[in-house]
Amino acid sequence: MILFLDDEKREMDSYAKELELCGYKVVFQKNVDEAWHFFENNVDGIDLLILDIMMPPGSIFKKVDTREGLRTGVHFFERIRKAAPDLPVIILTNVSDYQLLQRFRKEDNCNFFRKEDYLPFELAEEVEKILK
């Protein structure tokens, strides 16, 4: 199962649909609170997390400095990493900050993709490689 977390559901719908047509079960969540709740309850069933970076911080990151939501995904990733250190993660974002790319490049089992570089079928190909 793929957990797909992005607050721009409409813009990302084709990516989710393409993955579904490729045979993956996709659970789309558009806010961090619900995504975390889902993750906690389904941690063993999740094979891959696709994660956006710029998202509202929700209740779970209310007291964390997410730079007004610009870096919420970074904190979500760190939380996930503590709970599931080996879970493959794809960061899929419109943020083109080089520093951010560098930050995720250091992580194991983590890919950093910019949305503009991947069409839905290309993302599906990458997912296939990762889950193989």
Count Cα atoms within 13 angstroms, Cβ side, for 78: 10
Binding status of residue 78 toward other proteins by CB under 8 A: no
55: Cβ contacts below 8 Å, ≥ 6 apart: 5, 6, 7, 31, 32, 69, 72, 73, 76
Interface mask (CB under 8 A) for other proteins, residues 10-49, using x and -?
xxxxxx-xx--x---------x------------------
Which of these segments, 3-11, 38-46, 74-82, 83-91, binds other proteins (CB under 8 A)? Answer: 3-11
Q: Indicate which single residue of 121, 125, 128, 131 sits in contact with other proteins (rule: CB under 8 A).
A: 121
